[in-house]
Amino acid sequence: MIGNFVTQHEPEIIASFQRLLAIESVKSHPVPGGPFGAGPAEALSYMLQLAESRHLATKNVNGYAGHVEYGTGDEYIAVLAHLDVVPAGEGWTYPPFGGVIDQGRIYGRGAIDDKGPAMSALWALFALQEAGVVPRRKIRLIFGLDEESDWQCVEHYFRYESKPIGGFTPDAQFPLIYAEKGMATLCIEVPAEADSLAAQIQMFSGGTRYNMVPEVARATVDCHSETAARELGIKFRKVAKDLQVSLHSEVRSCFVDLTVEGRSAHASRPEVGINAIVQLAQLLGTATVSNCSMWRSVGSWDYFGRALGIDHDDGETGPLTMNVGTGELRDGVYRFHLNIRYPADQSIDELLKSMSNYLPDRWRITLVEHMDPLRVDPNSTLVQTLMEVYKQFFKEDISPLTTGGVTYARAIPNAVAFGARFPEKPSLAHQADEYWEIDDFLRSIEIYAEAMTRLANAL
């Protein structure tokens, strides 16, 4: 029944996905009606208009978030998805906001994180409506606009709206995520040194978001003379070759400009990326430059946190991971933002204490943001119902998973992440040439229609 609906409407479904991907919904400066910028506001408006065209009830909650409803009653189950995306970054083969289709894949920032799953859930509601399904409880699809940053969207939304009795977010992978690591973003500040005998760092910057592995980092070094600049430029190129670092360097009079290119990835999976900030620090740590000991330290920061004394594995949610997301030199102070995903049995206080013991006294640590770990009982009605849906479609008996990701499942009671990435498919969130296979996208509509119906009747 739902499969026939998807087949009949396939061109329209795909066109709506392309239209949503074409909206550059990166958080920016506020505009009237759009506290997170024009792009996120346009994305929300488009989704609500699409729902209204099919006569579903919608609501825009002051431009922070919005929802689409199907069914009746006071209690509801929720599907939470987000329409904001991280910046496109560099290294794309396809236009990041083009919605290009090539070889069965649709490309664009947000294709799998999380515009595609949001569109899938919306069409799942349309399918239930057309089929005349009458769920026991109301189904509400909530669209957030600030998930990739500060979650002000859902915080504001639930000031005005009641919370659901349960639900899921299509913002991870199948079969299901029942536990999420804790998340902390820390800022480490180090005073810049003035050393007349050393080459002086004039500029340093890298990364755009804490929750992305930085793909580019840059520095300008003042060597005090043209001869010293040429010699240092040669040394940097040799060291970069030895370390297999992708480096572009340029000598300008007594200055050496350095640009290191890494590979972006989601901060919860730093091992998939190549951290340009850490690699640039490794280069700077080999030369007689100001803050040389700092560069050697930063260059040793591995993604398990061993160099900072915070490595830990609880055997359930997995090992701690760490991403040096951004770095800059400003007003005589170096600032590095670390995004850390820590195991469920670890506390933020323990983590901060351990790190403080490893860092020099003059280095200052500030906790910027923090979320406790999440764990839902794998034997709960919520988890068991969704796992039954998974088995119905995938025909395999598999256990639910844990993740280092942070999802909207934390925003409401009795919620987990359910899809949308299919098993054995690559994790492409926050990477260049992000895509979703069209067959998986269309199939997910059937899965979510079934999941919504089953949950609305079971909870």
DSSP letters for 74-138: S-EEEEEEE--B----S--SS-TTS--EETTEEESTTTTTTHHHHHHHHHHHHHHHHHT---SSE
| Residue 289: pLDDT band with limits 50, 70, 90 | confident
Q: What is the mean pLDDT of residues 40-61?
A: 99
Say if residues 238 and 208 touch (Cβ distance below 8 Å). Answer: no
Q: What is the mean pLDDT of residues 44-64?
A: 98
> Which residue would you say has higher pLDDT here, 404 or 124?
124
Q: What b-and-e string marks burial along 385-394, b requiring 16 or more CB atoms within 10 Å of the CB?
A: bbbebbeebe
The predicted-structure confidence for 63-121, as pLDDT tens digits, reads as follows 999 999 999 999 999 999 999 999 998 899 999 999 999 999 999 999 999 999 999 99
At CA 267, angle to CA 263 and CA 269, rounded to 5?
A: 80
The helices-and-strands tally (H runs, E runs) of the chain is 10, 22
**Taking the domains of the chain in order of start, what are their residue ranges?**
2-180+374-458, 183-371
- In terms of CATH, what superfamily is 2-180+374-458? Zn peptidases (3.40.630.10)
Q: What b-and-e string marks burial along 5-19, b requiring 16 or more CB atoms within 10 Å of the CB?
A: bbeebeeebbebbbe
Residue 195 has pLDDT above 70, yes or no: no
- The one catalytic residue among 24, 84, 114, 450: 84
What the block records as the tokens of 201 is 């760092």
What dihedral do alpha carbons 425, 431, 435, 436 form, nearest 10°? 40
**Separation between Cα atoms, residue 320 and residue 375, nearest integer Å:** 16
- Options 1.10.357.10, 3.30.70.270, 3.60.20.10, 3.30.70.360; CATH of 183-371: 3.30.70.360
| Residue 140: pLDDT band with limits 50, 70, 90 | very high
What the block records as the tokens of 327 is 């770095």
Write the DSSP string, 323-373: EEEEEEEETTEEEEEEEEEE-TT--HHHHHHHHHHHS-TT-EEEEEEEE--
The predicted-structure confidence for 204-237, as pLDDT tens digits, reads as follows 999 998 989 999 999 999 999 999 999 999 999 9
**Separation between Cα atoms, residue 400 and residue 100, nearest integer Å:** 33
Say if residues 176 and 417 touch (Cβ distance below 8 Å). Answer: yes
Q: What is the mean pLDDT of residues 372-384?
A: 96
Q: Round the average pLDDT of the chain to a whole number and report it.
A: 95
**Separation between Cα atoms, residue 120 and residue 105, nearest integer Å:** 15
The predicted-structure confidence for 349-358, as pLDDT tens digits, reads as follows 999 999 999 9
Q: Give residue 124's pLDDT.
A: 98
| Residue 420: pLDDT band with limits 50, 70, 90 | very high
Query: CA dist 370 to 186, 209, 347, Å?
Result: 9, 16, 11
Q: Give the side-chain half-sphere CA count within 13 A for 292.
A: 8
What percent of the chain lies above the pLDDT cut of 70?
A: 99
Can 84 be counted among the known catalytic residues?
A: yes
Helix axes 38-52, 115-131, angle to 10 degrees: 10
Residue 391 has pLDDT above 70, yes or no: yes
**Separation between Cα atoms, residue 298 and residue 291, nearest integer Å:** 11
What the block records as the tokens of 57 is 């009830």
Nearest to 35 by CA among 69, 67, 68, 60: 60
Phi, psi of 416 (to 5 degrees): -140, 175
Least trusted range by pLDDT, from 11-20, 68-77, 196-205, 300-309: 196-205
Q: What is the mean pLDDT of residues 163-172?
A: 98
Give the list of residues 6+ apart from residue 353 with CB closer than 8 angstroms, or none.
none
| Residue 196: pLDDT band with limits 50, 70, 90 | low
Strand order through the sheet with 105-107: 101-102, 105-107, 435-437
Rg (CA), the chain: 24
Q: 205: which strand partners?
A: 218, 328
SS3 category, 432: coil
Residue 242 has pLDDT above 80, yes or no: yes
What dihedral do alpha carbons 276, 277, 278, 280 form, nearest 10°? 80
H or E segment at 388? Answer: helix 381-394
First to last CA, the chain: 24
The predicted-structure confidence for 328-366, as pLDDT tens digits, reads as follows 999 999 999 999 999 999 999 999 999 999 999 899 999
Residue 6 has pLDDT above 70, yes or no: yes
- The one catalytic residue among 114, 146, 147, 450: 147
Q: How many CB atoms lie within 10 A of CB 412?
A: 20
Q: Give residue 197's pLDDT.
A: 63
Can 147 be counted among the known catalytic residues?
A: yes
Least trusted range by pLDDT, from 31-45, 79-93, 183-197: 183-197
What the block records as the tokens of 197 is 């005998």
| Residue 422: pLDDT band with limits 50, 70, 90 | very high
Q: Give the side-chain half-sphere CA count within 13 A for 306.
A: 5
